[in-house]
Amino acid sequence: MDIATVIGLVMGFGLLGWAILMGGSFMLFVDVPSVIIVFGGTICTMFIKHTMQEVFGSVGIFMKAILNEPKVPEDYVNQLTNLANLARKDGILSLEKVRVDDSFMQLAINLCVDGADPGFLEEVLNKELGYLNDRHSNWIGIYEGIAEAAPAFGMIGTLIGLVQMLADMSDPAKIGPAMAVALITTFYGAFLANLVAIPISVKLKAYSQKEQVIRQMIIDGMVGIQKGINPRMLQISLKAAVPPIQRNFD
């Protein structure tokens, strides 16, 4: 689980709720038409931009952003170095019995065992990496779209409320409450965009970049193993992808 994401969401909702309660009743910020306009309008925009499968799948992506277990690059350096040592000692076919949790690395191992030459191995794995990047970009785009649509529908709701308020100016006592309701939609839009959609899209970008770095490490490592590069030299090469502060490992 990504504790940072959980802390951010919990503290964000908590601080917002505290600020609302300190200023008055929580029910002042509850307005069903405003919820329908902002959240309903944003969802409609998602369905227009994306397929139904992608829209429903975005819920799972949100959960992954919270429950994701960050991968550690240095673990992959050690794992690839161990594979290189095994292949150098007992031959490339000795990797046939190796089973790893990472499906991308397992694919690379299987290709090596099946006799794929380094060029073909690198080509196949780079295609996989490219398709991964496309999928990640699509999911990130959904949340970037939410970040764009939510404030826009908040403004639309506010304009609707203002039109309705200005249409009935005969009773001054109704102007204040009507204005408050009109502004709530802007609040909902800003809330959805800035506390949920934008942070999640940024976090997904960070996850995607880390995943691509690790997969590139796997490509370089497995191609190096297939070429018979010295395990120690391979380890030094792979360490380049690890932040300097984390390089003190064997």
- pLDDT tens-digit map of 170-185: 766 666 666 777 788 8
Identify which of 45, 211, 70 has the alpha carbon closest to the alpha carbon of residue 143.
Answer: 45
159/226 same-domain check: yes
Q: How confident is the model at residue 143 (pLDDT cuts 50, 70, 90)?
A: very high
The answer on pLDDT for 24 being more than 80 is no
- Whether residues 16 and 55 share a domain: the answer is no
Q: Are 20 and 137 contained in the same domain?
A: no
Does 144 lie in the same domain as 25?
no
Number of domains in the chain: 2
Give residue 48's domain range. Answer: 31-250
Lowest mean pLDDT: which of 14-18, 67-71, 245-249?
Answer: 245-249
Helix ranges (DSSP H) in the chain: 3-23, 32-35, 41-49, 52-67, 73-90, 103-113, 118-166, 175-191, 198-227, 231-238
The model's pTM: 0.79
Query: Are 133 and 228 in a shared domain?
Result: yes
Reference 37, options 179, 199, 182, 142; nearest CA is 182
40 with 12, same domain: the answer is no
What was the pLDDT predicted at 23?
A: 67
Q: Do 85 and 167 belong together in one domain? A: yes
Residues 25 and 73 in one domain: no
pLDDT score recorded for residue 174? 66
Are residues 90 and 181 both part of a single domain?
A: yes
79 and 183 in a single domain? The answer is: yes
216 class by beta-carbon count within 10 Å (0-12 exposed, 13-18 middle, 19+ buried): middle
pLDDT of residue 87: 86
